[in-house]
Each structure stands twice: as structure tokens, then as C-alpha cells.
Structure 1
């Protein structure tokens, strides 16, 4: 094993997440890590008391943007620019380290990877997570994760990268969704590795309505299509919405049965249908731009 860095910059994005941010900041500074942590917080105009909590931890940089001006690529690039150290960790304010090994395990996976693009943490859902989204976290991050068979998967929620690599591959600022997917695909094409640090665990999840699921899926698909990463643009409802939604729900059925949550299956189908519909609409719209 290679030696982990003795100093890092930690960039936290926040917006009205006072309900989680105190636990997240407490967990960051309780890590089993002997090095120094430079805290940089980029807030999108929170109004829920987050600022008072953040100031207790005396961040090196605390930038408060005007509400409604958030563009993910711009904020992430700003975080890299403000970082004083080569190794830059990104952690969403509502992604709470699960234990005191989160940072050490993330950094170890990073330094042990030749030609690293980025390393990202495993995420586990919160206790109040609805079954359909808990299943998604299992598919993406679980021990037998489906994402290992996908052409590409990455999450910026909890990750680390090197500033010198970012200087060669800055994050695109014209995408409102999936900017991290495009960024790591571009680095991957240039020969840089993206790895899951499975022993670095962050607690993070969201419960979305079917309508919110549609919006997120559509936004991600628009961004992916604009980046040129979807070859098939001739989408059809029965082939690319209905049948995949049914297949997704059958997978949910197996997961729900194993976890005693079968009562949530009707909600799961509504979510899966809207996810697939949003994806189809997003691909079509993104490819027309």
C-alpha cells in the first residue's frame, strides 16, 4: 500500500441541509486521519441555519452564492481552484461518513490506483429511505452491484481527485446534470482510472416522488446525450419505457421480498415508469440540441 497524503482540501457543497450538515461536519473532523484538512464550503444561499453550523468549523473558504445561480460544473471547478492541496476530496453536506475510516479508506484506494482519475465512496441509504431507492443504492454500490457491469458509473457525492489532473480535464460548465459522469468518461477515455473505494462509506439517500424521478432522469439523459454518450436516439415507448419499467419492477419485487417491503411495490412501479419516461424524453431532447 502506498502512503496516503498528509494534507487534503475538502470541498463541501451545501444548500438548506442543516438537518444533516452538523453530523457530517462532526464526522469529518472525527476521522482517524493524522493529516490536516482544509475545509472549503460552497453554499447556494441556504436559509435554514446551515451558515451558523458551518461557521463553527471555521472553514478556510466559505462562499455563499445567490439562490438560483447554482451550476454544478462551475461550483465544482471553483472548489478545485480554491483548494490549496493536490488531493481534493468532495463531500456533499448531506452525505455523512459512516465511521472514522471513511477518509482514510477513500485516500488509500486513490493512492493505490495507477493513473487515477477519481476514486469514489460506497454509499448506503439512510434509515428512512424508501425501498425503491434503497434498491438503487444496492444496485449501484452493493456487494453484488450491477454498476460493475455497466459501461460507466461514478458519483461525485463522496470522492477524491488530484488538482493536477483536474487542471488538464476541468469539469464542463454547460451541463446542469450528469457533469460528473461526463467528466470521468472524458478522463477514462484519456487512460485515467475511476475506482470505487468500497470500504469508504458515506450515508446518503433521497426519497423522490415519481414526478421528481422523471425530472432527474430527464435532466441526466439530456446531459448524457449532449455529451455524445448515447448512440441510439430512436426511442419508442413500448421498447424503452414500458418493458424496461416492468423489468425494473420485477427486480424490485425480488429485492423487496427479501427485505420485507413488498407493500411499496406499487410506488416502485410508478417511480420506474417515470424514470424510464424521463430518460427517453431526455435522450431525444438532448440529441436535438
Structure 2
């Protein structure tokens, strides 16, 4: 099992003046002794400046209500832990086979089990998964709910660490699992999640979406103010890990239609815990939605958002700013990368997503027949 600290870059700050080091000695006498003393003094002053700069950065981030850049301390995890990889499945087909084969290739020092909760597959996914060593539990299709089904999978498992993924997510390399669970060695870390990379056939809008949401830089998320915003609560059960004792204290909400992962993230952050984003733990996972599919997908996300991350004026304002930043960033990226023929489609596609999201945020005000008609969402 890979062990180590997840190092995050601190923001650059002017180096403050530090008091002279106690190691500075009288430089009179031997020239060699004087040079060594001055070198020690410079090292001590630099160390003091770095420590002071780190404290100032933390205070500034707290005032801005932003996730605080930090180094994640990682204690040594116990040897011979059991890692349970939990996957909700329905008609997984070849995607599921690739997912399970990627798990089997992982280089990790712990015992790994795979638990699948199948909600009515008709393509033989149950037998294919069992043939690849997974433990399969079946439920009726109408019993599937994102949070409740994952809680069921966790109860059926025996792992000390619970890893959540989906049937169409494929490990990007053989160190995915080791990198994903490594941050959990710190007692303060309630969960970790990893990067999502697009499949080779992903459309440019989907490629930009994944790079925008799951970039290459690691980060630590914790409550930095009175109200959580979208940036704080980022977490995805496409590629996540939670210690079992944390899940037992904070299970997923059974009644959340979608975004059960971000609703969970909001609760643990409000409880004072920390979440780590580890981009080295990467899976390949992307969708190609139709315009109607994108609308339904983001309607469901918006309908769950008040439980997950949109619970006040500051949160809604932060979401609006993020949407504007995202739209401008996508158009600029398409232009810079010479994929300009995608710009008209991208504009319509993003309008479908934003319309679905905004309607979902207002789902309680919709006429009941219309609300019933709206989403069925692909997991």
C-alpha cells in the first residue's frame, strides 16, 4: 500500500521578515565557522518565514470562506485492512467487465472485495460479475435509490475502507486504488475522491466539463465560513473512498434522488471534518448525453441541490458565479484548441443543462403532474 503525505501547493505570499536565528554565532575568528553559522541562520529565517506565511494563508482563506490549502498529514494505516469496492449495477455489459478487470489489476497491499448491488439487469451482468469474483446482491428495480442502495452495499460488505464507484468507471492505472485510500490515514479526513478523465470518444464539451470539475491539482476541503458553497462540497461517488467508521456515523441519505455524495459531503464538513481531492487516483468516466438527456440529468441534480449545497443566498450566488465562469471558460477553451465548430452545439448543450438545473432548483413550485413527468436519470 502506498503511504505518504498529500502535498498541496501553498499560495504565494511575500516572505515576511523573521527574527534573527538563535544559531547565529559570533563570526569573528575562523572564517569557515563564520560561513557555516551564516548558512544556518539563513535556513532558520527561511523556515520561520514559511511557517508564518502558512498561518497567514490559512487566515486569509478562512476570511474568504474558501477551502484552506494545506498539507494533509497521513499516519500509517494498519496492515492487512480490507477494502470493499461497492458498485450499483443495472445492465452494465462490457463497461462493467472493464471496470472489474481494472479493479483486479490494482497494486495494493490490502485485501480487496467487490460487492455489487444489481437492480434488475437483463443482460447477464449478474453472472458476468460473479464470474470475475464479485459478490452480487439483487434488488427489484423500483427499490433503487442512489443513497439507499449504496448504504445497502456498505452493510453487505466487510471492509474497513469503503470505495464507491460506478459500473462505467475504469481505473486509469494500477495505482488508482492505493492513491485513493492513502489520504484516509489522517484521522481528520472523512473521505477522499479522485479524478475523472474522459473516454477517448468523449465530446469536447464533456472533456472540458471533466477537466473543469476534476482538475490536476490536489486540494483539501473544509468549512472556511458560516455557509458552504458548491466548491466546498465537491465529492463524487463515481470515484470515492470513506472509512467504514465514518460511514457508520454519517451514512448516505436514503431519500435523496441524486447528489447523495454532495449531500453527505455537506454534513461531514459541517461536523468539522475534512475531505481530500486526490487527482492521482484517476478513473476514466464520461457520458455523451443528448440535449434531452442533459436536461433531465441536470434537472435531477438541481432538485437535490438544496439538500447538497444550495441552501442560502451565498450558496446560490456562488453557483451563479460558477456557471458564468464555466460557460466563459468552455467557449474560450473551444476557441483556443481550434474546436470552434463545436461552439454552436456547446451553447445549446449548456443552455439545456442550465435550464434543467434552474428548473430543478425550483422543483417544489412546479405543478405536480409536470414534476412527475420530469426525470429518470442514468446512474
Range of TM-score over shorter length: 0.7 to 0.9
Counterpart position of 1:67: 141
SS at 2:141 equivalent = coil
CA contact (8 A) 1:141 1:147 kept: no
Counterpart position of 2:165: 91
Using the alignment, how far apart are the partners of 1:145 and 1:249 within structure 2? 23
Residue 243 of structure 2 corresponds to residue 162 of structure 1: yes
Counterpart position of 2:118: 43
SS at 2:142 equivalent = coil
Give per-residue Cα distances to partners, 1:125-146, cap 9 Å, x unaligned: 1011111111110001123699
SS at 1:188 equivalent = helix
Pairing partner for 2:340 from 262, 267, 270? 262
TM-score normalised to the size of structure 1? 0.88
Using the alignment, how far apart are the partners of 1:270 and 1:182 within structure 2? 29
Residue 202 of structure 2 corresponds to residue 129 of structure 1: yes
Q: CA deviation at 1:229?
A: 3.0
Give per-residue Cα distances to partners, 1:11-34, cap 9 Å, x unaligned: 112122212111111111111113
Residue 110 of structure 2 corresponds to residue 29 of structure 1: no
Counterpart position of 2:130: 55
Higher RCO (Cα < 8 Å, 6 or more apart): 1
SS at 2:109 equivalent = coil
CA contact (8 A) 1:117 1:165 kept: yes
Shift of the 231–14 alpha-carbon distance from structure 1 to 2, 3 Å rule, reads: same
TM-score normalised to the size of structure 2? 0.68
CA contact (8 A) 2:220 2:277 kept: no
Shift of the 23–173 alpha-carbon distance from structure 1 to 2, 3 Å rule, reads: same
Shift of the 259–14 alpha-carbon distance from structure 1 to 2, 3 Å rule, reads: farther
Shift of the 146–128 alpha-carbon distance from structure 1 to 2, 3 Å rule, reads: farther
CA contact (8 A) 1:221 1:286 kept: no
Q: CA deviation at 1:262?
A: 1.9
Using the alignment, how far apart are the partners of 1:188 and 1:245 within structure 2? 23
SS at 1:62 equivalent = strand
SS at 1:93 equivalent = coil
Alignment of 1:177-196 (within 5 A): 177-196=258-277
Q: Any gaps of 5 or more consecutive residues in structure 2?
A: 5-74, 222-229, 369-379
Q: CA deviation at 1:194?
A: 1.1
Aligned length: 281
Structure of larger gyration radius: 2
Q: CA RMSD in A?
A: 2.8
